[in-house]
Amino acid sequence: MIKRQFISKSLIYTITGALPLASGLVLLPFYTNWLTSDQFGIFALYIAITMFLQVIFNFGFDNYIGISFIDNKNNPAVLTEIIGTIVLSLLIIGTFVILSSLLVGESIFNLFNNSGSQKTQLLFFPYGLMAVVTAFFNSMFKTYTSLLIYQQRSNKYMFMNLFNFILTISISLTWLSLNKYSLQGPMWGRLLSGTGIFFLAIFYFNREYRLRFSGRYWPLFRKFCTFLVFYQLLSWTLANIDKFIIGHFLSPTDVAIFDFAIKCLVVIEFLQNGLSSAIIPLVFGNWTNEPTEQSKADVRKYFNGFSAVSIIAIPLYTIAVPFLVPLIVKNTIYYESFKFLPILGLGFMFISLRQIYSFPLLAKKRSDLLTMAFAFSALAQVLLTVIAVKFFGLMGAVWASLLTKPIQIVFMYMESRKIMELDLSLKKQIILPLLVTISVIIVYIVLSPSDYFWVLLFYAIISTVLTYLFYRREIPEFYLSAIKALKTKKIT
Average pLDDT over residues 213-217: 86
Distance CA 231, CA 491 (A): 38
For the chain, how many helices (H) and strands (E)? 20, 0
What DSSP string describes 287-308? HHSPP-HHHHHHHHHHHHHHHH
Burial class (CB in 10 A: 0-12, 13-18, 19+), 114: exposed
Q: How many residues does the chain have?
A: 492
Distance CA 338, CA 261 (A): 7
* pLDDT at 486 (0 to 100): 47
Distance CA 41, CA 253 (A): 6
Residue 425 confidence class, pLDDT cut points 50, 70, 90: confident
pLDDT at residue 477 is higher than 90: no
Model pLDDT for residues 99-119, shown as the tens digit of each residue: 999 999 999 999 988 877 777
Using the Cα atoms of residue 60, residue 62, residue 66 and residue 68 in order, give the sign of their dihedral. Answer: positive
Contacts of 362 (CB under 8 A, 6+ apart): 63, 67, 280, 370
pLDDT at residue 483 is higher than 70: no
**pLDDT higher at 368 or 9:** 368
Model pLDDT for residues 39-94, shown as the tens digit of each residue: 999 999 999 999 999 999 999 899 889 888 988 888 988 999 999 999 999 999 99
Q: Where are the domains of the chain?
A: 4-487
* pLDDT at 292 (0 to 100): 62
Query: How many Cβ atoms from other residues are within 10 Å of residue 107's Cβ?
Result: 9
Model pLDDT for residues 314-363, shown as the tens digit of each residue: 999 999 999 999 999 999 999 999 999 999 999 998 888 888 888 888 77
DSSP 35: S
Q: Is the pTM of this model over 0.75?
A: yes
Model pLDDT for residues 331-344, shown as the tens digit of each residue: 999 999 999 999 99
Distance CA 194, CA 133 (A): 9
Q: Could you tell me if 487 and 480 are in contact, meaning their C-beta atoms sit under 8 angstroms apart? A: no
Average pLDDT over residues 379-389: 93
Considering the chain, what is the average pLDDT of its residues? Answer: 87
